[in-house]
Every structure is written in structure tokens, then in C-alpha cells.
Amino acid sequence: MRRVEIVAPRRRVLELLRAVHRAGVVELVPFERSVGPAEAAPTPIFGPCPDCPDRADREAALGMASELAGLLGRQAAPHDLVSRLWELDDAALAERVASLRPVHERAAALTERRRRLAAEERRIGECRELIGALAPVAGLIPRLRGYGAIAALVPARAQALLDLLRPELELVAGGRSELITADLDAQRIALLALFPREALGPVQELFGRRGIAEADLPEACAGLPLAEALARLDGEQSADAAAFETAGAELLALAEGHGAESAALAAVLADRFAESDAVAGAAASDHLVAFGGWVPDDRLAELRAGLAADFGPEALLDVRPGERRVEEAEAPVALRNPRLLRPFEPLASFLGLPRYGSLDPTPFLAVTFPAFVGLMVGDAGYGLVMLGLLLAVRLRWPRSAAVRLVVPIGIPAAAATVFFGVLFGEWFGDAGHLVFGLHPLALDRREAILPMLVLALGIGIAHVGLGLGLGVANAIRLGERREAAVRVLLLTCLFAMVALVAGRAGGWIPDPAGWLLAVSLAAAAVGLVVLAGLAGSIELVGIFGNVLSYARLMAIGLASVMLATVANQLGGLSGSILAGLLVGGLLHALNFSLGFFDSTVQGLRLHYVEFFGRFVDTGGRRFRPFAAAIARADGQARPVGR
Amino acid sequence: MDDGWRFIGAALAVGLGAIGTGLAQSRIGSAGAGTIAEKPELLGGILLMMALPETVVILGFVVAAMVLLGG
């Protein structure tokens, strides 16, 4: 990552900014950080740039276009349209916005109409329910002249309130009232109070005091018998539904005609608005304007060429000499990985972005995480089902952000599951063996408990050892010699201990070599305590704890295969093919979900705690380039370089 | 008789480890549920913390395997 200053004639400030925005490779930094200390220039030549375009106008236009895009369903802005609009000046964009104003007004009116109709439909629905519940009971009551009624809905838990209400209603109505209730559903009770019309005021006051809201019946139903009111409500509801559909169809037609344009306009106007803010952060003298920022090393040449093409000798790209102290304190971090590994970047930076200049753990995680999941689940049948599910989800929701995030990680994990499943001979547990006579190619996890445990611990030693090795490389990169020495000693301790234990157990280490290893181990341990004090000894114990933690690779796998075997056995016990398939299928579904979920969490945990803990130094700040919509669409804003 | 004691030892190694893990996870889980209610974006971190105490039962499992397979 390089710190740069871009200088150009002040009259071309907006052009320069748009070129930088279009390139999408510079993270701009504010003006006060882009010039040297005050004592270096007692009378600063550069001050804040006053050439800021009218921010309020741009904000108003952006607000209108964004709102319209929202009203019309915010379609994805087509790239070619964004490119065309991006070339327009502010006046032409304002014209476009003005031409969409009638569309905006109509869309807003239609949306409001749909909102009101939906609310009315809900209200009518509630009234229908209320009347429907009360009609059978109320129908038995003879029509009485001079009597009024109030209907209401109360929560079922307020039954005690109704018991209180009944005598109070009798009291205010002079003993000439009736309270009819009917259970609407498990949560609500419908209520109808009958009383002499002259008691309407006191009854309403009583209902208000008790917090019971009267049902808001449509005026058209006033004075009608309940059965007629119900029919009237049916008619109104149908009319509202038809009007709702009509408004929706008109809105859809507007979206088809203007949705893409409004979305593209909103994207371009958002860029202009961001440019207004960026100008405010620039530095300007009487004749020059300067922008400061960070650029990835490998994009510098591209930026230089772009500026030379647009401005010739009028624009100067000044690259500051690298200052490690400044870079470490201020430079943003951009991860640089091949396309296949990029989906793993969010996982690798989940606990924080690596510190500037340190190693990126993404490539290591991209290889070992799917392998760990595959090793733990280790069932070819489950792996194939997972592959099928991921592909189906990818086809069904191709644009979903969650799908784009999960599928590229899930597919290698599912493929690894199939691979290990074939090695272990597991096809839905032992179903492959029982039905097709399939055998393990390597080992049977149900029988080979000790070899699997040794394998898991071996992977742990290799993984933690790799982490320590990377930790040494990282510490050297960052110039932390003491940290590098501590990790070398830890690595020595780990391998000396492993060689000693394995060699003595296998009997292939002669005595002199064994003594040599023991002395190395002791010397490294003493060195650790000298270099790192108490923390060194704690870390040494922690390393062995970390290695043992990898036993979960075997333990979770064993639990998974046993549950799958139990599923098959229980399915077989039922005595009926259908019941057997149902029982076995349900248990396999449970094991499938548990297996992949637990393996994912445990696989990540092994990386974050046992592996990353040995070399990843977090604290980096993400590189956020000043990138226009057009640059984002071109993929130019992809943060690369370091 | 020896086998019996080995089985009991192995069961204790896993069982006590599982109880310890359960106790730790119950506390992390209740605190985590409160955290997620206020900040749902921390779900991933809380899930990871929930998985941390499982090392205890895994170590118990390793001890049990050594006890059972060693003899």
C-alpha cells in the first residue's frame, strides 16, 4: 500500500475527482492528514478546497431518485445505463430527475393507495371475524327498539376483565344490558354489549376506562343486522382487493418502464454526492488542488496511466517514500487472493483483519477448513446431498448475498466430505455396505478408533506446527525478532516432544538421539521462560493443549458415523419399508444437520483458536477505495494489493 | 474387576468433562443470548465462544480412549 498525493490545476478539480472516482483504486484521506506538520510550513499554501458543488441540490436529486427506485422495487441498475448516465453532467442529470418527477408522484400515490387499501382490508377482515363470531349468538336476540350495541375484541387472557365488566355495565345501563362473548380463536374473544341507547355515553366511558377499544365497523354497516353487515363487508373486501390489485399492476408497469432508470440514476447521483463530500476533504491553493490517499502497490501504474491519459502533464501523482512506522499506523489493509480463495476472506478476517504487513491467513484456511469439515462428517452420501442442496440453492437464488457467501465455501467442504466418505466407506452410515456391499478404501472409522485418533493428533501437530512456522515468518516480516525467537523455541519444543514421544513409543529412537531430543526440549523450554517469562511457559503448555484439541476431528466423526449406523438399525427394526424409510430418513436428516453444523463450528474454532492464535496478528483497517458505481460494476474496486 | 475399573475411569473422564463443558456452556449461552438480543451481528462470535469449552470434554475423551485402548 502506498501513500500518494494527486495534484492538478484547481480549475479541473471536479474532473480530477471524477477520474479518481472512476478508477476506484484510491482510498482518500482527509485534508489535514494529507499535508505535513504545521511547523514545516508556518503559512500553509494549501487550505480547504472551496470549490464544492452544491451539495444540497445533489442531495435532493439523490433523495428523489432513491425513493423512486425504492417505490418501484429497486431493480439492479444495468451496467450500460449506469455507464451512460455517469458521463452526463449535473445539469443533464437534473433534467433526467425532473423528467421522472411525474412518475415519482404517481408511484408515491399508488403506493399510498395500496397501503390504505391493505389497512382497510385488514380492518374489514377483523370486522368479519368479529361479526362472524357474534352472529350466531346475537341472532337469537330479538331486535329491540331504542337499544344500541358496541362490539369489541379483547385478548383471551383478559377473561377476568369481562367478569368485572358485566356488573359495571349493568350498573351504568340501569340493569337493562346484555354482554355477549364468543371465542374468536385461542388469543381473542369477541364481545358485544347491548344497552339502552341513552346509556351510550356512560358505556363508552366505561369501555374507555377499562381499556377496551370499540371495533371500528365501516359506516356502510351502521344499523344493519349482523347477517346483512357480513354480506356488505364481503362486497367491500372484494372491491378493496380488486382495487389493490389494479394499483399493484399499474405500479408494476411503472417499474418496468422506469425502474432500471431510477435505480441507475440513484447509483450515479450517490456517486456525485460522495464526490461533493470528497471535494470538501481536498486541499487547495490559489491555482492547485491536491488529494491524498492510499493506493495498493499493484494498482499504482494503472492509476498513473489513467491520470496521464486524462490530464497529460497537468496532473501529478506523487508517491511518498515508504515509512514503515507511518504505514503500520495508518495504512489500510487489502487482502489479495485468487478468485477461488476470495470467498474465504470473510471467514479468515472474521475475528479481525490481519495487521498491516502481516500474513494473510486466507489461503491456509481455504485449504484446511473444507478438509476438516470433510474429515469430520466423512460420509459420501451426506456429501452428495449437501452438494445437491448447494447447487439447487445456487440455481434458485442466484443473486442472494447469503447464497453467494455460503455456496463457494460449502462446495469444497461437501466435495471433501464425499472424498473422505469414499475413503471411510460410508454412504449414509453403513447403508452403502449393507445394500451395495461397499467397503472402506482406507479405514473403517467405527473400528479404527486408535488410528483415527493418531491421525487427528498428527493433523493437529502439523497444523499447529505450520501456524508456528508462519508465526516465525510473520514476526520476521514485521521486524519483531524477539517474537520470532519465541516461536522458534515453541516450534522446537513441539517437534522435540513429538519426536521423543513417538520415537520412544515406536522404539525407533536410539538412546543418544533420545537424550539429544530431551536436552533440546529442556533447553528450548528454559529459553522460552528466559525470553517470555511466565507467559512463555503458559504458551508451551498451551501448544500441547492445542494439539490435543484436534482429537475433536476424530471424536465428532465417530459420533457422526455411530448416529448414522443407529439410524439404519432403527429403520431396519420397524418391520415396514415405509416406516423404516421414515424413521431412518428422519434420523439421517438430524445427523446430517448436526454433522455439518457442528463440523463447521468446530472446524472454524480449530482455525481461530489453535491455528490463527500462532501467527495471525489482528488490528488492520479495511481498505475502502473511493469507487464509483461504474467502477464497482467493472470489478475495478476489488481491493487488492498490500 | 480390572476391566470394570477401567470402564468406570473412562466413563468418569468423559462424563465429568461433559458436565464441566455443560456448566461452562450454560453460562456462556445465557450471556450470549443476552448479547445477541442487543447485538445480533455478534452471533458468529458467540457461537464460537460456545464451542470453546468443548475442549474439556474432548480432552476427557482422549483420556478415556487412552484408558480403554491402552489396556
Predicted confidence (pLDDT) per residue in A434-472, tens digit: 888 888 888 888 888 889 999 999 999 999 999 999 999
How many CB atoms are located within 10 Å of the residue A179 CB? 18
Instruction: Using pLDDT thresholds of 50, 70 and 90, give the confidence band for residue A325.
Output: low
Dump pLDDT digits (tens) for A598-613.
Answer: 899 899 999 998 999 8
Q: What is the pLDDT of residue A378?
A: 93
Could you say which of 2.40.50.180, 1.10.490.10, 3.40.50.150, 1.20.20.10 is the CATH number of the domain covering B2-70? 1.20.20.10
Q: Which residue has the higher pLDDT, A574 or A251?
A: A251
A121 residue type, one letter: E
Kindly state the helix (H) or strand (E) to which residue A496 belongs, with its residue range: helix A481-506
Q: Within 13 Å and on the Cβ side, how many CA atoms surround B1?
A: 0
* CATH number attached to the domain at A116-239: 3.30.70.2750
- Rounded to the nearest angstrom, the minimum Cα separation between A600 and chain B is 10
Cα separations in angstroms, B7 against A73, A296, A583, B14, B15:
65, 61, 32, 11, 12
Q: Which three cell numbers stand for residue A567?
A: 439410524
Q: Which residue has the higher pLDDT, A283 or A595?
A: A595
Nearest to A112 by CA among A12, A215, A247: A247
Domain ranges within chain A, ordered by starting residue: 2-101+261-328, 116-239, 342-377+441-614
Total residues belonging to chain A? 642
pLDDT at A75 over 70: no
Distance CA A21, CA A351 (A): 30
Residue B51: which of A449, A548, A605 has the nearest Cβ?
A605
Q: What is the pLDDT of residue A640?
A: 33
- Rounded to the nearest angstrom, the minimum Cα separation between A487 and chain B is 23
**From the candidates A453, A454, A550, A598, which should be mutated to test the interface with B, based on the most B CB atoms within 10 A?**
A453
Kindly state the helix (H) or strand (E) to which residue A5 belongs, with its residue range: strand A2-9
> How does the average pLDDT of chain B come out, rounded?
87
Domain ranges within chain B, ordered by starting residue: 2-70
pLDDT at A336 over 50: yes
**From the candidates B56, B58, B67, which should be mutated to test the interface with A, based on the most A CB atoms within 10 A?**
B58
Q: What is the pLDDT of residue A633?
A: 53
Size of interface A-B (CB pairs under 8 A): 42
A269 residue type, one letter: L
How many CB atoms are located within 10 Å of the residue A421 CB? 24
Instruction: Using pLDDT thresholds of 50, 70 and 90, give the confidence band for residue A34.
Output: very low
- Rounded to the nearest angstrom, the minimum Cα separation between A350 and chain B is 8
Q: Which three cell numbers stand for residue A280?
A: 470538501
pLDDT at A570 over 90: no
Residue B48: which of A548, A551, A604 has the nearest Cβ?
A604
Q: Which residue has the higher pLDDT, A509 or A546?
A: A546
Residue of chain A with shortest Cα separation from B63:
A548
Do the Cβ atoms of A485 and A531 come closer than 8 Å?
Answer: yes
